[in-house]
Amino acid sequence: MDLLAQSNVPFVLAKPQRVLAVSGAVLAFVGLVVAVCAPAFLEAKHAPAQTVPEVLVESAHKIKNRFAHKDIDVEPQRRISWKSTFVVAGALLGFLGSALGTASWVRRENPKLGGIAISTGLTAIAWNYFALAAIAAAALFLMAWIISHFHR
């Protein structure tokens, strides 16, 4: 007994109705995952803590070398850290997701998916930048309000 509905319209010709909402929600969710998880994963990659005697021995060697005026090798510091790169990438993906969610809301695609994309994107931004998230929320709301008046 088949319960599948038969249709004459091929599946390939069906036009997707929620392109902006779905892509905005996916981008915003990826941005939130990157903003939340990437700094924690990068911090967990460091070497495990040493025991107290090992730390004391290493400190004693550093003090002895300093008093002996031996040249100490200094590692050059990187200008951009991976942590800041992931924080900015998460905020950028969150902003793109919330912008696409706003565009889908203006086009009246699916208000639930558009709202999910906007809120998840702003959460990804706010995870590290609260002031920027407040400004972005106000700007997206004003942009959607203005565009919705012209789109009638």
Residue 53 lies in a domain: no
DSSP assigned state of 109: S
Instruction: Name which of 40, 20, 29 is nearest 93 in CA terms.
Output: 29
Residue 91 lies in a domain: yes
Q: What is the per-residue pLDDT for 11?
A: 56
Residue 57 lies in a domain: no
Q: How many whole angstroms from its chain centre is CA 8?
A: 42
Q: What is the per-residue pLDDT for 45?
A: 61
Residue 7 lies in a domain: no
Average pLDDT over residues 27-42: 82
Residue 131 lies in a domain: yes
Higher pLDDT, 119 or 53: 119
Alpha carbon of 111 to those of 17, 22, 80, 90, 116: distances in Å?
12, 11, 39, 24, 8
pLDDT at 15 over 60: no
Provide the domain limits for residue 125.
20-46+81-152
Higher pLDDT, 45 or 80: 80
Residue 68 lies in a domain: no
Do residues 104 and 146 lie in contact, with contact meaning Cβ atoms separated by under 8 Å? Answer: no
The percent of residues in the chain predicted with pLDDT above 70, rounded, is 76
pLDDT at 67 over 80: no
DSSP assigned state of 110: -
Tens-place pLDDT, residues 116-140: 888 888 888 888 777 777 787 888 8
Higher pLDDT, 61 or 6: 61
Do residues 20 and 100 lie in contact, with contact meaning Cβ atoms separated by under 8 Å? Answer: yes
- Give the chain's domain count: 1
Provide the token pair at 95. Answer: 């902003």
Residue 133 lies in a domain: yes
Give one DSSP letter per residue of 13-48, joined into a string: GPPPS-HHHHHHHHHHHHHHHHHHHHHHHHHHTSPP
Phi, psi of 139 (to 5 degrees): -65, -45
Residue 151 lies in a domain: yes
